Amino acid sequence: LSVWSNVQAGPPDAILGITEAFKADKDPRKINLGVGAYRDENGKPYILPSVQKAEEIVLASVPNKEYLPITGLPEFTRNAALLAYGTESTPLKEGAVAVTQSISGTGALRIGGEFLARHYPKSKDIFLPAPTWGNHIPLFRDSGLNVRSYRYFNKETVGLDFAGLKADLEAAPEGAIVLLHACAHNPTGIDPTPEQWAQISDIVKEKKLFPFFDMAYQGFASGSTTKDAFAVRHFVEQGHQVALSQSFAKNMGLYGERVGAFSVTTADAAEKARVDSQLKIIIRPMYSNPPVNGARIANAILSNADLYTQWESEVKGMADRIISMREKLYNSLQKELNTPGEWGHIKSQIGMFSFTGLNPSQTKALAEKAHVYMTHDGRISMAGLNGGNIEYFAQSVDKAVR
Ligand SMILES: Cc1ncc(COP(=O)(O)O)c(CN[C@](O)(C(=O)O)[C@@H](O)C(=O)O)c1O
């Protein structure tokens, strides 16, 4: 009898499993709207020209292959924190932000979960928005935190359930951790307005909650890295101590290079040094030190003014293409096809995804009959749409809802 005879077959990942099903489909009309990965107007993966140039610069320097420090490439982590917190950030100026490189956003969230589970004194409860990125749930549970949720999405209005959000945060136990999507909420594409963020900040302060920001789309949501960092910077200006996970998968297209950072704001440089030492104690037995190539590429962009400017315009280009797809899809459904239902949310939502409101039986029919793949909860990656497939997609949705 094999030692593994008791191993059960687990379910495919709710998001990455969609891509597997898409790959297995041989129909030429197939469309993959599952994984949140940018595609250009021809449906192809996109290597940002600024990233290509940065990679050439890195290669030209013939860098060695030595280990990085446990917390990664120091100039990368310094520049990643600057991108997120901004040049005016007080804790940053005081050298009080502890930052470590991570295995992209997922790795940053996991380091954060482990760090909070060991060192955050007030609670083991982490409140996630309902719905949230599916991977948040097992990730924080595996970190040793108690996963709970706060209302976020209103099905009726297909909008933010702000009253429910406030009520749940006000009812949360004092000192609980609250995970906040900094911009481009996944899967709903619905973000609080600046005024709503200000109210959330007040509740977090009043209830002494601990804000943990997940910023996986900075620059990719609105096209402006400054605008997309508003919530993080507002909370820091309001005096909150925050934790932050950053991903460069989408905004630099560095998906498979796994480039990210985790940071916390501390009281001062001495406390930051103690936090750094505990981050290293978590990371060393986890993966020892991070991959070097992606961090060098990201840093080549963040540390070179011309390349940074070029990169920002390319991120805006990606954001703009997605926004134009939102307009086109809305017009096809609402005006040309007159598809039953309300579709305004496709235009008002922001970032990579649109939460269509299609139910699981409709998403199943779309996959089986129309070869259109999206997550069971009706989330579509807008980046998977382009001039060549958007009409077919709209017609397929129209059929599915009639
Ligand atoms: C809110 C959020 N946070 C963190 C991550 C982690 O990203 P990475 O580890 O690659 O930096 C994602 C990616 N989520 C997806 O875009 C998605 O929801 O399709 C996809 O990349 C994924 O891994 O699921 C995300 O949407």
Rounded distance, CA 184 to CA 133, Å?
A: 11
- Assign residue 378 a region (left: φ > 0; alpha: ψ between -120 and 50; beta: otherwise): left
Query: What is the distance in A from the centroid of ligand 1 to the CA of 247?
Result: 8
**pLDDT above 90: residue 32:** yes
pLDDT at 50: 98
**Residue whose CA is at the smallest distance from ligand 1 atom 4:** 105
Relative to beta strand 353-355, strand 379-381 is antiparallel
The mean pLDDT of 371-396, rounded to a whole number, is 97
Query: What is the distance in A from the centroid of ligand 1 to the CA of 105?
Result: 7
- Assign residue 346 a region (left: φ > 0; alpha: ψ between -120 and 50; beta: otherwise): alpha
375 CA: nearest ligand 1 atom: 19
Query: What is the distance in A from the centroid of ligand 1 to the CA of 36?
Result: 7
Query: What is the distance in A from the centroid of ligand 1 to the CA of 34?
Result: 11
**Residue whose CA is at the smallest distance from ligand 1 atom 17:** 36
Site to substitute for ligand 1 among 103, 104, 106, most atoms within 8 A of C-beta: 106
User: What six digits make up the tokens of 34?
Assistant: 């599952």
The mean pLDDT of 185-214, rounded to a whole number, is 98
Site to substitute for ligand 1 among 16, 180, 186, 188, most atoms within 8 A of C-beta: 186
**Residue whose CA is at the smallest distance from ligand 1 atom 8:** 105
pLDDT, tens only, 77-99: 999 999 999 999 999 999 999 99
Name the strand (E) or helix (H) holding 274. helix 269-287
pLDDT, tens only, 33-69: 999 999 999 999 999 999 999 999 999 999 999 999 9
- At 26, the amino acid letter reads K
Instruction: Point out the residues that are catalytic.
Output: 133, 214, 250
**Residue whose CA is at the smallest distance from ligand 1 atom 25:** 216
ipTM above 0.85, yes or no: yes
Identify the DSSP state of 213. Answer: E
pLDDT at 342: 87
Query: What is the distance in A from the centroid of ligand 1 to the CA of 135?
Result: 8
**Residue whose CA is at the smallest distance from ligand 1 atom 3:** 216
Query: What is the distance in A from the centroid of ligand 1 to the CA of 268?
Result: 32
Query: What is the distance in A from the centroid of ligand 1 to the CA of 294?
Result: 17
13 CA: nearest ligand 1 atom: 24
The mean pLDDT of 247-271, rounded to a whole number, is 98
Around ligand 1, the residues with Cβ closer than 6 Å are 15, 35-36, 104-106, 133, 135, 181, 186, 214, 216, 247, 249, 260
Name the pTM for this structure: 0.97
**Residue whose CA is at the smallest distance from ligand 1 atom 20:** 36
Rounded distance, CA 329 to CA 333, Å?
A: 6
255 CA: nearest ligand 1 atom: 10
15 CA: nearest ligand 1 atom: 24
**Residue whose CA is at the smallest distance from ligand 1 atom 16:** 36
pLDDT at 78: 98
Non-local (6+) Cβ contacts of 14 within 8 A are: 134, 375, 376
For 135, phi then psi, to 5°, come to -70, -20
User: Which of 179, 248, 187 is closest to 219 using CA atoms?
Assistant: 248
Rounded distance, CA 309 to CA 140, Å?
A: 36
381 CA: nearest ligand 1 atom: 19
pLDDT at 179: 98
pLDDT, tens only, 286-345: 999 999 999 999 999 999 999 999 999 999 999 999 999 999 999 999 999 999 998 999
Query: What is the distance in A from the centroid of ligand 1 to the CA of 80?
Result: 18
106 CA: nearest ligand 1 atom: 9
User: Which of 97, 51, 58, 91 is closest to 78 using CA atoms?
Assistant: 97
pLDDT at 388: 96
- Residue 201: pLDDT band (50, 70, 90) is very high
Rounded mean pLDDT of the chain? Answer: 97
pLDDT at 141: 98
Rounded distance, CA 108 to CA 49, Å?
A: 26
